[in-house]
Structure 1
Amino acid sequence: MNIIDFRSDTVTMPTEKMREVMAGALVGDDVYREDPTVSALEEIAAKRLGKEAALFVPSGTMGNQIAVKTHTIAGHEVIVENKSHIYNYEVGALASICGVQAHPISSDLGAINPDTLREAIREEDIHYAETGLICLENTHNQHGGMAVPIENMKTVYEIAQENQIPIHLDGARIFNAATYLKTDVKNIAEYADSIMFCLSKGLGAPIGSILVGDREFIEKARKVRKMFGGGMRQAGIIAAAGIVSLEEMIHRLEEDHITAKALGEGLSEINGLKVDLKTLQTNIVMCDVINPKIDTNQLVEDLRKEGILCATAGVNRIRFVTHYPIAVGDIDYTLGTILKVVG
């Protein structure tokens, strides 16, 4: 049975080119900064995002938490969007590892209202935790892969600067945002002091994420990475695939957006299902099951039996994520199968 896996873009398999360069990668001990392939990846990543330096880390979650730990001190308060990954899906690391208090605020599909932000920033008071960091997310996972407008990020960044508060961007899918916004990724990265992005999602690498920022920040982050157990040795073997990701996989993200749109439009035409096409911008499709006779969990299970893997994303909601190598033909098969299962 052919399996079409929409659960996440983390399930992508490395390309043949990635496997080839991994096998032949020059390596060394990266904790000693002796791995030439890791150093090359970090240099490429920093240059592409317009930052001074970069750090290769095992995962996006670790990259986010290294950034928080580097920017803050224990007892700080961190402003986060209330549906953000860093707040909801990183196992309470803000508190348990970084020793900071989360201050969640609402947004408009990931875009922070300037007035809401200003109100959330703590004034000087002996009773208050000091606001030490603002965390953003672009694209925004739980808002269906929405790309936060650059104008909104610029406004938020200006408010942060006025209050001398750094901004960290969870840019796990920042290249999807840049693709949708039809802009250079540097124009997004400009409005954050540090950015984490994943190589192992739409860019297709098997392992790893990148943290970028100014040179001083990355030097501090390197030590925090060691503290967190993220210092790797002959990591060039996996970094080599990351170089291929940045050199060859960014341009094809548009294909994932096209297949997601086709899937979303097709789902919206099936009785009992609903997709808000206005919010379908990148590679994440949020499908609401609006027919009470359709059991969402059972639908996911029935599709699994047909070789289509997807995941629930809350009550009566299913999330589909398109990625390499899902193609238009896979979308046609998926829609036909869903129609058969629900109809």
Structure 2
Amino acid sequence: MVDQPSFVDLRSDTVTRPTAGMRQAMAYAEVGDDVFGDDPTVQALERRVAEMFGHEAALFAPSGTMANQIALQLVVAPAHELLVGADAHVVTYELGAAAALGGISTRTWPAVGADLDVDQIAAMIRPAGYPSVPTHAIAVEQTHNLGYGGVVPLETLRALRSAADTAGVALHCDGARIWHAHIADGVPLSAYGEVFDTLSVCLSKGLGAPVGSVIVGSAARIAQARLIRKRLGGGLRQVGILAAAGLYALDHHLERLADDHVRARRLAEALAPYGVVDPGRIRTNLVPLDLSKSRLDAPALVAAAAERGVRLVAMFPTVARLVTHLDVDDDGLDRAIEVLGGLLRDA
């Protein structure tokens, strides 16, 4: 029996603990040595994820950042350009890895979250030829972390795909929370797969696995991805123990993401009277609190809430973030609403 924490942890959907069923699946997983290519459980996970997105192949990676950076190296050559939103994870929270590890130049469009302007992005694409750095790929985040967990509509993605095809550039999806987009909009994962050349999808955000992301693409690209992963120190041995958690999560934790969306909206509606959040903007499981008109800044709210047993994070000086997930039930949500409501009411 695993002891449950005495606090309500809304910092991220990465803080979940493996369920009893997931731990059992991990304990009894059939394993091999994945560097030699003979771990059957990771192979099963990779086949399944590739099939879900309608691609030829997939590759397990230890983290979302590694998965993103491997995928970017597949579609952007060194000293060439990636176009991406200014508030995207790959340029905000991955410590300059595209430049440091892949020699990739990045150019950004203004931060708009999930509200992409396809014409604006298309106009930014630079062709090969002196003196410009040629654009090789465009990256999109689905769902969008700093964009209220917003979902980029499928029709927008298809329009962007058309623009990319016209210009001869690739399209990558940082799909850390693409599972949430699938549940929120009812878009088949294969439809997302048709749009993108490469995707990175996370098993430890939302789905509740303890570790891992998966890179999805063509067989040729994934063969190259395996080499890049090894170069980055991501060659894994008996990784079937972790892959079993991913398979269990896909079986048991995908459809239940709808519960997280309901709880996120309930949380937003409860805190809306304090003028810190617009419930109408909450589409998935992320609830940002705008404290610009409050006497509490984000670090102060985070510290005060932690003292009362509720954890959240300060994204910016005046923005705190709450994330609903597998380990927060209705009782936990009620406790968070009581604590945060009291703090905001007194601010």
TM-score scaled to structure 1, two decimals?
0.97
Would you say 1:312 and 2:314 are equivalent positions? yes
**1:106 to partner: Cα distance:** 2.4
Structure 1: gaps (5+ residues): none
Which of the numbers 106, 112, 125 marks the counterpart of 1:102?
106
**3-state SS of paired residue (2:173):** strand
Equivalent position of 2:234 in the other structure:
230
Whether 2:18 is the aligned partner of 1:14: answer yes
Distance 2:102 2:29 in 1: 34
- CA apart distance, 1:123: 2.9
3-state SS of paired residue (1:11): coil
| Secondary structure, counterpart of 1:61 in structure 2 | helix
- Does residue 1:168 correspond to 2:172, yes or no? yes
Alignment partner of 2:195: what SS?
A: coil
The alpha-carbon deviation at position 25 of structure 1 amounts to: 0.9
- CA spacing shift, 1:225–1:286, aligned 2, 3 Å: same
1:297 matched to 2:299? The reply is yes
Q: Equivalent residue for 2:125?
A: 121
Equivalent in the alignment of 2:188: 184
- C-alpha displacement of 1:314: 1.1
Quote the offset at 1:107 in angstroms: 5.4
Would you say 1:151 and 2:166 are equivalent positions? no
Inter-partner Cα distance in structure 2 for 1:73 and 1:214: 17
Is the 8 Å Cα contact of residues 85 and 112 (structure 2) preserved in structure 1? no
Shift in Å, 1:111: 3.3
- Counterpart in 2 of 1:240? 244
Question: How do residues 31-70 of structure 1 correspond to structure 2 at under 5 angstroms?
Answer: 31-70=35-74
Runs of 4+ in 1 over 3 A off after TM superposition: none
Work out the CA distance in 2 between the residues paired with 1:214 and 1:297. Answer: 44
Question: C-alpha separation between the residues in 2 aligned to 1:290 and 1:133?
Answer: 36
CA positional deviation for 1:292: 4.1
Match of 1:138 among 142, 151, 154: 142
Contact 1:81 1:110 (8 Å CA) reproduced: no
* Corresponding residue for residue 24 of structure 1: 28
> Deviation at 1:323?
0.3
Could you tell me how far apart the structure 2 residues matched to 1:111 and 1:211 are? 25
Q: What is the alpha-carbon distance in structure 1 between the residues aligned to residue 293 and residue 91 of structure 2?
A: 31
| Identical pairs, percent | 38
Cα shift at 1:118: 1.8
1:259-289 superposed Cα distances (whole Å, 9 cap, x missing partner): 100001111123xx42122221000001111
Say if 2:115 and 2:152, in contact at 8 Å, map to a contact too. yes
Structure 2: gaps spanning 5 or more residues: none
Match of 1:322 in 2: 324
SS at match of 2:160: helix
Task: Tell me which residue corresponds to 2:278.
Answer: 276
Post-superposition offset of 1:319: 0.3
Tell me, yes or no, if the aligned pair for 1:45 and 1:246 is still in contact at 8 Å. no
User: For residue 5 of structure 1, what is the amino acid of its counterpart?
Assistant: D
Distance 1:19 1:292 in 2: 43
- Alignment correspondent of 1:74: 78
In structure 1, what is the equivalent of residue 94 of structure 2?
Answer: 90
Aligned residues: 341
Deviation at 1:341, TM superposition (A): 2.6
* Contact 2:305 2:311 survives alignment (8 Å): yes
Structure 2 Cα separation of the partners of residues 290 and 224 of structure 1 = 43
Give TM-score, length-normalised by structure 2.
0.95
1:50–1:208 Cα change, 3 Å? same
Report the secondary structure of 1:43's partner residue.
helix
